[in-house]
Structure 1
Amino acid sequence: MQDWVSASDTIDRALDRAFSPTRSLDASAIAATTDVYFNRTQAIVSHFGDQRVEYALFIRRPVVAACGLMIRWLRNVARERGMSIDVRQVYPEGAWVGAGEPLLYISGSFADLAPLETLLLQRLGPCCVAAHHAYQMVMTLPKVAFLAMEARHCAGFDMQEMMAFAAAVGSEAAKKEGARGFIGNANDATSAFFGRERGLGTMPHALIGYAGSTLRAAEMYREVYPDDPLTILVDYFGQEITDSLAVCRRFPELAARGDLSIRLDTHGGRFLEGLDPQTSYAVLERHTPGTIRRYRSDRELRDLVGTGVSAAAIWRMREALNDAGFMNVKIVASSGFGIEKCTAMADAQAPVDVIGTGSFIPSRWTETYATADIVSYDGVPRVKVGREFLLR
C-alpha cells in the first residue's frame, strides 16, 4: 500500500493552488456542518479516553479513484489544527476500483477524526463516480476532444470544483490508454485541473440574440478578440447550415486554417435545419450504413436520428461544410452528451471534433454515497459484522 495523491503533475499543482490555508474549515464550522452524532461521539471519547483508530473508506459501486481533493482538504484541516494523521491510498488516482473495495485508510485520533467523517465522504463519492463517468465517455470516443461544461449544473462552487477535478482525473486515466480526453473547461476557477490558466469558450445564445444575427455575433466577437480562434453557435435562428456557411464565407482565412468551429446545440424540440425523420435516416445510411439497424433502445434511436444534436445532424453539418469547400472547419457538439449518447455517436462514427459536456455529473446521486467504517481501535482489529472485508 502506498501514499498516493495525484493523477498527474498538472492535477497535483492545481490541488496545491486550490487549497490554501484560508479554505480550511475551523472546528466550529466543522461542528456545524457534520452530523450531530459525530460531535457527541467526540465529546464521549474525549471524556472516557481517546484512542488511535483506523478508518476504511469505500463505495458500493465500481468507480475510478479520485481521492485527491478529499485528501488535500483533510491534510489542510490537520495542518491548521495540529492533528497527526496517516493517509494510505490502496489505489492510485485514476485507477479502476471494484464495488466495495476500500479506496483508502485513514488513521489518527478518534476524537479528531470523528467530526470529519461526514465532510470526508461528501468529497469522496461524487468525485470517484464522476471520474468513472468521464473516463467512460472519453474512452467511448477516444479521438474526440472534450470540454468540461459542468459549472452551470452544479450546486455551488464546492460541487463545481469536485466535478472539474473528477473530469480531469477520469480524463488523465483515459489519456494513458491513448484517448485525447478533456482539453479544458468552461471557467477560470478550475481550469488549472486541465493544465490551463483560463477557461475556454466564446459566446452564449444570449449574445446571438443581442447581435440580431449569427453572422453579426461572429463579427462582434472577432472585433473584440481578434487573435482568438472562433467558435460560433448556430442554432439560435434555426438555420444551422445557412448561418454556418455565412460565417465561413465571412471569415475564409479562419476557416481555411482550422481556426473556425461550428457549435451545434440544437435543442430537443426540433430537428437541425433541413432534417426530419426520413432525411435523418437517409443521412446515416449514406455515411454509416447499418448503424440504424443496430440501435438498442428508444434513447439510442433518438440520439442517432431524432431531434436535437443527433448523429445524423452532425453528419449533415459535415456534408454541408465539405460541399461548400470548408473541410477544415471543425464541429463542436453539446447538449446531453452522457455515456449513452457518446456510445451512439461512436457507433455512427459521427464526425465531431469536440464535445462540450457536463453530463459526467452523476444523474442518480444515490450512487455517489461513500461509506466509512473504523476497522481498528488502538491497533486491535474490530469492525461491525458484515464489513470484515475491510480488514487488512
Structure 2
Amino acid sequence: MTNRELENLEDVNNVTISKDRILHSANHDEIKQGLTTDVYFIKTREILNELDLSQTEVVVDIFASREGVAAGIDEAVNLLQDKDVEVWGLEEGSRMDKKEVILRIKGVYNEFGIFETSLLGSLASASGWATAAAECKEAADDIPVLCFGARHLHPAVAPVMERSAIIGGADGASCILGAKLAGQKPSGTVPHALILTVGDTLKVAQAYDEVMPDDAARIIIVDTFKDEAEESLRLADSLKESLDGIRLDTPSERGGVTPDLVKEVRARLDQAGHDYVNIFVSGGITPERILNLKDLGVDGFGVGSYIAGAEAINMTMDIKEVDGKAIAKRGRIPGVAENKRLKRLL
C-alpha cells in the first residue's frame, strides 16, 4: 500500500512486511500511517464513515494516572501538526498531578482518532522516564546526574528515553542521538571493553589524554583489573592534574560501589595530594543509593537501569465533548476539566 493513513480493514489486510526489514521497530512514516495503532481505531474510522459521522467534532482530554513529570508533549504535537485540530497542553518537563489533564485536542474525530494509541504510548513512556530522572536529580541535588540507560532498551526508543531523562532533570546523556535531540553533546569517556582490550588502565588513560580533544573530560574507570584505590592513585600519579576524575563501577559480584569504598578512594586520593580528582559513580544507581553516597565525596552519578526501566505513567484519553455537548463515560464527569496551566500548542 502507499504511505497514506489507514482508512479501513482492507487497508490493514494489505499491509505487508518486507523480508529484508532490519529492525522490528516502527519508522516515522509507519507511525503516521497509523500502523502502530490498535486495530479497533481503524474499525472506528470505517464505521463512522459508513454512518455519515466522519465529520463529528469532539474534544478529548488526556490525563495521567499518577503525578510526575510530563514528557512526550512535543512528540504528540509533532504527530498532530499536519492535522486540522486545536491542541492545548502542559509545557514539556512540567510537573503534573494525578488525574491532571496534560493535553487537550479539539477537532473532527476522524482527523486524529487513530493516533490515540501512539499519543498515549509516547506520553506514558516519556513521562515515566522523565519522572525517574527527576527523582534521581532531586536526590543528587547539585551533583551532576548523567543518563547511561540506552543499553537497557531497544535502540529505536533509547534516544527517546535519554532525551526524556534530560527533560526530567538529568544533566546529560551518553546516547549520541538522545543527547543531540536534547540539544546537548553526548557525555561519556571509556568503557571496560577498551581497558580489557588494551590490557592496562593506565595505558588507556595516557592514550585518552593524548588522543582526545582538550574539552573531553579525563575521567577513567578504575575497577577493571586492580583495587579501585590503587588504580586511582596510579592514574593520578601519572596524569597529575590532567586527570579530571575516576569512575567507580564495581560489579555486584564484588559488592558494587559501597559507601566504604567511596570513602576509602576519596581519602587515599586526598592523602596523596590528589584532592582535585573527582569521583564519578555508576552501576545500579537509584535515588536511595544516591542519598547514601552523595555526601561521601561523590562528584557525579551515572544512572542507567533505574531510568530506562522506569514504569510508564499510564495515560487515558477521554472524549469530553461531541459536537459541542458535554459527555463522558460512566464514572467520569461530562465536559472538559478545567486546567489553567494548559497552553495553546497548535
| TM-score normalised over the length of structure 2 | 0.83
Distance in 1, Cα, partners of 2:150 & 2:271: 37
Distance in 2, Cα, partners of 1:202 & 1:59: 37
Distance in 1, Cα, partners of 2:76 & 2:299: 35
Deviations 1:292-325 (A, max 9, x none): xxxxxxxxxxxxxxx2112222121111110111
Distance in 1, Cα, partners of 2:96 & 2:336: 17
SS in 1 for 2:61: strand
Residue in structure 2 matched with residue 25 of structure 1 by the alignment: 29
Distance in 1, Cα, partners of 2:335 & 2:276: 54
- Is 1:203 the equivalent of 2:190? yes
Aligned equivalent of 2:205, options 210, 215, 218: 218
Contact 1:57 1:371 in 2 (8 A): yes
- Is 1:377 the equivalent of 2:322? yes
Matched to 1:341, the amino acid is: R
Residue in structure 2 matched with residue 358 of structure 1 by the alignment: 304
Contact 1:261 1:332 in 2 (8 A): yes
The alpha carbon displacement at 1:24 in A equals 4.2
Matched to 2:132, the amino acid is: H
Residues 72-111 of structure 1 correspond to what in structure 2 (within 5 A)? 72-75=77-80, 78-79=81-82, 83-89=83-89, 91-111=90-110
The alpha carbon displacement at 1:136 in A equals 1.8
Aligned equivalent of 1:266, options 250, 255, 269: 250
Instruction: Extract unaligned runs of 5+ from structure 2.
Output: 1-26, 338-346
Residue in structure 2 matched with residue 130 of structure 1 by the alignment: 129
Contact 2:285 2:303 in 1 (8 A): yes
SS in 1 for 2:298: coil
The alpha carbon displacement at 1:364 in A equals 5.7
What count of residue pairs does the alignment treat as equivalent?
308
Residue in structure 2 matched with residue 20 of structure 1 by the alignment: none
Contact 2:126 2:161 in 1 (8 A): yes
Distance in 2, Cα, partners of 1:390 & 1:93: 25
| TM-score normalised over the length of structure 1 | 0.73
Residues 1-392 of structure 1 correspond to what in structure 2 (within 5 A)? 24-25=28-29, 30-48=33-51, 49-50=53-54, 51-75=56-80, 78-79=81-82, 83-89=83-89, 91-157=90-156, 159-171=157-169, 182-196=170-184, 198-225=185-212, 227=214, 228-255=216-243, 260-270=244-254, 307-346=255-294, 349-361=295-307, 363=309, 365=311, 367-388=312-333, 391-392=336-337
Contact 1:45 1:110 in 2 (8 A): no
Distance in 2, Cα, partners of 1:143 & 1:184: 14
Matched to 1:240, the amino acid is: E
SS in 2 for 1:120: helix
Residue in structure 2 matched with residue 6 of structure 1 by the alignment: none
Distance in 1, Cα, partners of 2:248 & 2:310: 27
Deviations 1:225-259 (A, max 9, x none): 1523311111111421111111111111314xxxx
Provide the identity percentage: 30
Contact 2:74 2:92 in 1 (8 A): no
More helix by share: 1
RMSD: 2.1
